[in-house]
Structure 1
């Protein structure tokens, strides 16, 4: 798959996922909210690691800065 996520996008997703993890660890999140946000956080971490967002693909979006040759 072609990467379509820029550095800032990947960093923001990672920070958001870590914030959800911290909120869960401190007991601020619980129940259904924790489950839904936890699934989203895992998805954010996976897409950040891979550098491709499947939601961007059908729309043709990309936050990645294309390097000029």
Structure 2
């Protein structure tokens, strides 16, 4: 039982360290605008079928990543659009 709790704590600490903000304000705004455009196009039946569903799913992911200011793909590719905070 103690091993399980230790493992759980390690995983939680790893997840918290991995999910540092890596998206700047401009990036978040662009993603939300794109998600809104895709949503409007989907619900007005301009984009339909499989492509419409894939784009709708992408827009949901865009909104989610914008809300939490973290993009897993940015971590994989080593990108960071979040401004550097000055140390005082």
Instruction: State if a TM-score over 0.5 links the two structures.
Output: yes
What is the Cα-based RMSD across aligned positions, in Å?
0.8
Within-5 A mapping of 1:28-47: 28-47=46-65
Within-5 A mapping of 1:1-69: 1-69=19-87
Using the alignment, how far apart are the partners of 1:57 and 1:4 within structure 2?
Answer: 8
Task: Calculate the TM-score normalised by the size of structure 2.
Answer: 0.75
Structure with the larger helix share = 2
Using the alignment, how far apart are the partners of 2:54 and 2:78 within structure 1?
Answer: 27
Task: Calculate the TM-score normalised by the size of structure 1.
Answer: 0.94
Consecutive aligned runs of 4 or more in structure 1 exceeding 4 Å deviation: none
Using the alignment, how far apart are the partners of 1:58 and 1:40 within structure 2?
Answer: 18
> Larger Cα Rg: Structure 1 or Structure 2?
2
Q: Which fold has the larger relative contact order, with Cα–Cα distance below 8 Å and residues 6 or more apart in sequence?
A: 1
Number of matched pairs: 69
State the Cα distance separating 1:59 from its structure 2 match.
Answer: 2.0
